[in-house]
Amino acid sequence: MNYRSVKQPKLSDVIMQRIEEMIMEGALRPGQRLPPERELAQEFDVSRPSIREALQKLAAKGLLVSRQGGGTFVAENLGDGLVDPLLDLFRSHPEAQYDLLEFRHALEGVSAYYAALRSTVADREVIAARLDDLQRYHDRKEFDKEVAADVEFHLAIAAAAHNVVLLHMMRALFQLLHQHIGDNLSSIYPKAEIRQRIHEQHRLLMEAICAGEPEHARKAAHDHLVYVEEALLEQGRENSRLQRALRRVELNP
């Protein structure tokens, strides 16, 4: 009987596949610096040339970038093809923010549902930490950091859903969400009661996920975005009334 020889995969290909999995699963984030070759060789228990070859292959795929004297990083522009056209659309058509809110209803409702079903203790700790960050920056009135923390809170929920496509869709939209949430907060956050209500909704969302209640989590995400949309619509109506009043004053000094 003839047996075909089984070809053993190259070490560098095995390492490359593992790093690809870490990027896909979100363990390595866009822009994150990888450990030095020496540490990677120890972690994978292989030679440094095998590590170097794997990193070169990943760089050729566009997944990693090397900086002179600065190390190797996960490419920051993963998924940018989804982001730039949408950012341009939002800059030229501010009313499109309601379309994004509608899209977020679907995307974040699913994220919350599966996060409640699948999140680990570690996932829930990260979500709680992101909410603490959000509250801290809110208390300090550090607006830019508060906006970033709001986005990170929602991304932590997406990561806890343990669906790599969902996670990377959310990350690909990070810049868009950052601008969108920033625009929302700047429009409605001057009102203390709205601000407090939004923080309470974030907490209810986290509690439903931590309690393992998927339907309650999805409803909490839905209620949060409905409230934001209603607050934005009301703010828009107030702005329209103000503009009409100013025009009347100008015409009848």
The answer to whether the Cα torsion of 129, 135, 136, 142 is positive or negative is positive
SS3 117: helix
What local confidence, expressed as pLDDT, does residue 189 receive? 59
Q: What are the φ/ψ torsions at residue 53 (nearest 5 degrees)? A: -65, -40
User: What's the pTM?
Assistant: 0.67
Cα 178 from chain centroid? Answer: 9
The tens place of each residue's pLDDT in the chain, 253 residues long, gives 455 555 677 888 889 888 988 887 777 878 889 999 899 999 989 999 999 999 999 888 888 898 877 789 988 766 555 545 545 555 555 566 667 777 888 888 999 999 999 999 999 999 999 999 999 988 888 877 887 888 899 999 999 999 988 888 887 766 666 666 666 666 665 566 777 888 899 999 999 999 999 999 999 999 998 887 787 777 656 555 556 556 556 656 6
CA-angle at 217, arms to 214 and 221, nearest 5°: 140
Identity of residue 73: F
Q: What are the φ/ψ torsions at residue 82 (nearest 5 degrees)? A: -80, -25
SS3 74: strand
CA-angle at 229, arms to 107 and 145, nearest 5°: 75
Q: Residues 6 or more apart from 234 whose CB is under 8 A from it?
A: none
